[in-house]
Chain A
Amino acid sequence: MAIVTGKRNLLSHLAAHAGILIFLALVLFPFFMIISISLRPGNFAVGSLIPPEISFEHWKLALGISYEDAHGNLINPPFPVLTWLWNSVKIATITAFLILALSTTSAYAFARMKFRFKGAVLNSILLLQMFPAALTLIAIFSIFDTLGEYIPWLGVDTHGGLILSYLGGIALHVWTIKGYFESIPVDIEEAASVDGANTFQTFLYVLLPMAVPILMVVFVLAFIGTLIEYPVASILLHQEDNLTLAVGSKLFLYEQNYLWGDFAAAAVLSGLPITAVFLLAQKWIVSGLTVGGSKG
């Protein structure tokens, strides 16, 4: 802090810290609760935050390890949680990359190229996206059911089909990236084209490197969005081995028996890839990449 502040600020500092602590508690409490549930023996949703007794039974099941219960019965993992996790990460990564590729290129077209009906197209893709996805589920199912008859690897119960269905949801990302592109002075790209670069080279070597922060933001958002997506995945995927973690972990909560402990362990597990991706992306999300190119 370089700026000089008076003594009176001490009070407001304390107030600010108190506010932040309260906010943190609000955010973190459910998280600690989940961890606590996953470490408690038995499947109980309620109980004290700090479990009186710690047991790794739920984690063993989540990680696919069998264990012996108090009566000496061998309990096998009911579901392939690790496979689900792998499915989720695979689908989310591929989807995020494809979304990034599609939305940057279309954002480039919308931000920099001139064509007819640009404004109309731009607005209508956004409006169409507003339509709740849950209401289109039947349509999505029948589309992919039919598609699967011609291209099997894009049909129902395939990861290819699911990824393809996610690629429809790029309108918001296109808008985000387009807004960022438009904030970059166009004369830098003009300089590149005078330097002999064609449109694609200008896009690749000049515009994209300056847009890295927003690309990272979009990647993270797309990754998280895909990882936690439930409705579409739940109707397109059926076989147990094919499920994503978001769909699969719901199986712990069947009518007669809510396996809260196993569910909690799976939930914590599904948070790990998000954390990892976010930590990786964070160092690229920096400001000021476009400073210094143009005068004024």
Chain B
Amino acid sequence: MIAAIAARGLSRILPGPVPTVLVEEIDLDFAPGSFTAITGPSGSGKSSLLYLLGLLDRPSAGEVLVEGAPTSQLDDDTRGDLRLERFGFVFQFHFLLPEFSVLDNVMLPMRELGQLSSAEMRARGEELLASLDMAEMARKLPGQLSGGQRQRTAIARALANDPRFILADEPTGALDTRNGRAVFAILRRLAEEGRTVIVVTHDEALAALTDRRIQLIDGRLAADARLQER
């Protein structure tokens, strides 16, 4: 089976008088529908790896394969189009546009992709919000939401274009335990729908809720454990 996302000899080294190694020599395959946690101490390169896998950053060496296709030679616009169509990102900070309603924030990627009519976009946005228990919040502004609600809005936005891959960087970092667990439950559901979910977390308890745990230390792969076979 072709991996949904794969890293081959992936390195990211910032040039300089003393080069900074963000990640080095990473080889990984992520199967379609898998739910993986990336863990490791602070500064170990978890975020850096996620940015490379999500085509947000370009490797210094090695290759990221998306459904078998190499991506390092693609231009910025093509990589942007790939992100728009196939990737959904959730960050620790929600990054919602403050002037737009919850629903409008969720519709933003759909509008950029431009494949649905506005009525269809609206319907899909409302459906996504409802599936995250956010139906009542659709008309509110991000400033009127709680932290957990904002993060769920960000997840809805990440799902806007029905992406095959969900990449989340500490999505629960700003949430309490209850809300954190709720977010992980959502991520698990997304994986069960067949999406490939990769989540960076330093919370061991939450990492235990995934299928596979990858540990980074100093930018290198230190452990790769399958917690439960599905």
A binds B: no
Chain B residues with CB under 8 Å of chain A are none
User: Which A residues contact B (CB, under 8 angstroms)?
Assistant: none
